[in-house]
A and B are shown apart, each in its own frame.
Chain A
């Protein structure tokens, strides 16, 4: 579809550079990275660097019994050009998520927040009602709200209406690796979205990330697919290249699928005459 990139109005076909913006901030990388599930800080940082990600999610937890335990994120904070985006995972409802967002802003100093509310600890599907409520409140407080959401086109417009900066519909359940199970819903969301659409959760392979970008999504977020792969740093790099390829393909315009022009029935247009002017 001829979709305006990043939800902005096009002023002309700009081929270079291909940036997108969210919450008033411009980014060139369309790959977002999560930092969970890595075996150690060194691998995590290596993967983030290899991915070229400029937005990186983190979570908040209470300081543990042993406050001297490994600081996974110290080295991350020192990297340049990275926007840390706290998520509200752990929150089971809107008020917990709102609290978590405020704490996250305090510690990161950034207005970005990924609203992530999954009350069911097994399938981790996002709660649409609590997410909407949290997004509404946080957007009004000036957060750059990026809601993790079911791939529902009406919910997408509701979240847009209350001031979210982007949409983060799931491709499939977190960690499930089932890829773009929600593709048809994503297409509907893309058709009407005025803000960036970032597919989050469930991607397993770089080809799936490329497919998301080919479809017209503005970006993707991956975590498990990298952290749980055989070689996270190599996989992160593969994802980066796949996202770039998918984006380039989208802008180039895929060739049409075959079988469009066969004529099946008797002619329908014989009623048209030269007359009628």
Chain B
């Protein structure tokens, strides 16, 4: 991919934007709109919408309750390997960062999975870096099969794959694929992804569609806030979600908004996003996409997570480790992909949720209904 890669027409939000700053009237119109879209999201993300935070929060809560009940879906990330050949400027696992590289051998992965199961999880997200000889597709497929034997929902967050590869994952029991575009701005994207297969903007952009074509049930999209103009990235994220929804009506989508925290790692965000903006983003997306699950990870501090649970956010992890494996240790031995700010255990976190009138839900569906060959649940 060359720096001249362009945003496809289906992604580009510019036809709906007139370049003028939104006014308070525009914000009110957006809040009153029956079927909000790109234009309304832009208004809700503009500076003029800041005074409407509380209104937006209340609307977000009402919509979240309507579509998700008073529940929070729980999941756990498991880093299988941190080998990587990419040169992403913002990532702790970039190939030029000096840190011990490791992968979980299948028996080790089994142990970690058993521990997660003990902690109460029924949904696991398996993560790796870019496809490498140490941890490539076959390794991932094997780990998915292992996980699918124990967990009702198994997701992967790894690297763009072919339709055929996604189909094999689906057969093995993978129900979700997460792949963040990080930033939808092609020039910024090119600049930040200094080398490696991840430089290919278009291939990554099309991967979620391939996953859906292959029969993967849910695809997770997201942007890493801080890499580019966050409002523009959010609008593109909406366009991406709408596009996938129109073309793959049988698959579901989730959205996530990981935020670059300037003090962690060596990379400082060019477009820093504060908590207030992140909160407003979540409210705005909830208002525009009332029925899409929105995720918040342990990257954010406990008080923020407590406040956001149920205000748009419908799915959260807890007790997470972001280094390879690590669930058996009190403190992770090696540096993770990002720093965990909310270090609370699962019981502590769940207790907080219950105190706030929210029920943690670990199991959303029963994998016994999967085809017999798909590694039925034991």
Interface residues of A, Cβ cutoff 8 Å to B = 1-3, 9-13, 154, 157, 187, 191-194, 216, 255-258, 260-261, 263-265, 267-269, 271-277
Type the 1/0 row for B311-354, where 1 means its CB is closer than 8 Å to any CB of A: 10000000000000000000000000000000000000000000
- Closest A residue to B305 by beta carbon equals A271
CB of A268 within 8 A of CB of B61, answer yes
Q: Is the interface of B mostly helix, strand, loop or mixed?
A: helix
Interface contact A268-B246, CB-CB below 8 Å: no
Task: Decide if A273 touches B28 in the complex (CB within 8 Å).
Answer: no
Cβ contact within 8 Å between B54 and A11: no
Pairwise interchain contact B39-A2, C-beta atoms closer than 8 A: yes
Least Cβ distance of B35 to chain A in Å? 4
Contact: B34 with A272, CB < 8 Å? no
Alpha-carbon distance A193/B245, docked complex (angstroms): 10
Complex interface residues of chain B between 33 and 88 (CB less than 8 A to chain A):
33-39, 52-55, 57-59, 61
Residues of B within 8 A of A (CB): 9-10, 15-16, 28-39, 52-55, 57-59, 61, 245-247, 249-250, 261-262, 272-276, 278-279, 300-301, 303-304, 306-307, 311
Q: Tell whether, in the assembled complex, residue A277 and residue B261 are in contact, meaning their CB atoms are under 8 Å apart.
A: yes
Given A257-B32, A257-B34, are A271 and B249 also a contact pair (CB < 8 Å)? no
Task: Give the distance to chain A from B273, nearest Cβ to Cβ, in Å.
Answer: 8
In the assembled complex, the Cα of A269 lies from the Cα of B274 at a distance in Å of: 14
> Can you give 23 A-B contacts (C-beta < 8 A)?
A1-B35, A9-B10, A10-B9, A11-B15, A12-B15, A13-B15, A191-B35, A192-B245, A192-B246, A255-B29, A256-B28, A256-B31, A260-B32, A261-B28, A261-B52, A268-B61, A269-B53, A269-B54, A271-B303, A272-B279, A272-B307, A276-B301, A277-B272
Is the CB–CB distance between B55 and A263 below 8 Å? Answer: yes
- By beta carbon, the residue of chain B nearest A275 is B275
- What are the residues of chain A within 8 A of B58 when measuring CB–CB? 263-265, 268
Output the least CB separation between A46 and chain B (Å).
Answer: 38
Which residue in chain B gives the minimum CB-CB distance to A259? B32
Per the bound structure, the CA–CA distance linking A1 and B16 in Å amounts to 11
A10 to B14, alpha carbons, bound, how many Å? 11
Pair A2/B9 contact, Cβ less than 8 Å: no
Cβ-closest 4 pairs across A and B = A256-B32, A271-B307, A276-B275, A2-B37
> Measured between alpha carbons, how far is A263 from B55 in the docked complex, in Å?
6
Shortest distance from the beta carbon of B263 to any chain A beta carbon, whole Å: 8
- Separation in Å of the B14 CB from the closest CB of chain A? 8
CB closest chain-B residue, reference A274: B274
- A contact face: mostly helix, strand, loop, or mixed: loop
Task: Please give, as numbers and ranges, the residues of chain A lying within 8 Å of B55 by CB-CB distance.
Answer: 260-261, 263
Q: How far is the CA of A38 from the CA of B34 in the complex (A)?
A: 39
List B contacts of A273 (CB < 8 A).
275, 303
Q: Which of B9, B35, B52, B272 has the most CB of A within 10 A?
A: B35
A260 to B55, CA, bound (A): 9
Interface centre among B32, B37, B272, B304 (most CB of A within 10 A): B32
Q: Which residues of B contact A3 (CB under 8 A)?
A: 37
CB contact between B57 and one of A2, A154, A193, A269 (< 8 Å): that residue: A269
Cα A3 to Cα B38 with chains together (Å): 10
Chain B residues with CB under 8 A of A269: 53-54, 57, 279, 307
Q: Give complex CA distance A261, B311 in Å.
A: 17
Chain A nearest CB: distance from B277 CB in Å? 10
Residues of B within 8 A of A277 (CB): 261-262, 272-275
Distance A139 CA – B37 CA, assembled complex (angstroms): 32
Question: Which of A268, A274, A276 contacts B54 (CB under 8 A)?
Answer: A268
Given contacts A194-B247, A272-B276, A276-B275, contact A258 B32 (CB under 8 A): yes
A156 → chain B, closest Cβ, in Å? 9
Q: State the CA gap A100–B252 with chains docked (Å).
A: 39
Residue in B closest to A277 when the chains form the complex, CB atoms: B274
**Interchain nearest-CB distance for B238 vs A (Å):** 10
Residue of B nearest to A267 (CB): B54
Given contacts A157-B249, A265-B58, A269-B307, contact A2 B38 (CB under 8 A): yes
Using Cβ atoms and an 8 Å threshold, which residues of chain B touch A255?
A: 29, 32
Q: Known contacts A256-B28, A276-B274; can you find 7 more A-B pairs with CB under 8 A?
A: A1-B36, A191-B35, A256-B29, A256-B30, A263-B54, A276-B275, A277-B272
The answer for the CA separation of A193 and B29 in the assembled complex, in Å, is 25
Let me know if B246 and A256 touch, CB within 8 A. no
A157 to B59, CA, bound (A): 30
- How far is it, in angstroms, between the C-alpha of A238 and the C-alpha of B363 when the chains are bound? 56
Residues in B whose Cβ lies below 8 Å from that of A275: 275, 301
Which residues of chain B are within 8 angstroms of A13 by Cβ–Cβ distance? 15
B37, B53, B250: the one contacting A1 at CB < 8 Å is: B37
Which residues from A are CB-within-8-Å of B300? 276
Residues in chain A near residue B34, CB distance under 8 A:
257
CA separation between A191 and B15, bound complex, in Å? 18
Closest to B60 in A: A268
Which residue, of B10, B246, B300, has the highest number of chain A Cβ atoms within 10 A? B246
A142–B34 Cα gap in the complex (Å)? 38
| B31 touching A271, Cβ below 8 Å | no
Whether A192 contacts B307 in the complex (CB less than 8 A), given A260-B31, A277-B261, comes out as no
> Given the complex of chains A and B, what is the CA–CA distance between A261 and B56 in angstroms?
9
B288 → A minimal CB distance (Å):
10
In angstroms, Cα B300 to Cα A260, docked, is: 30
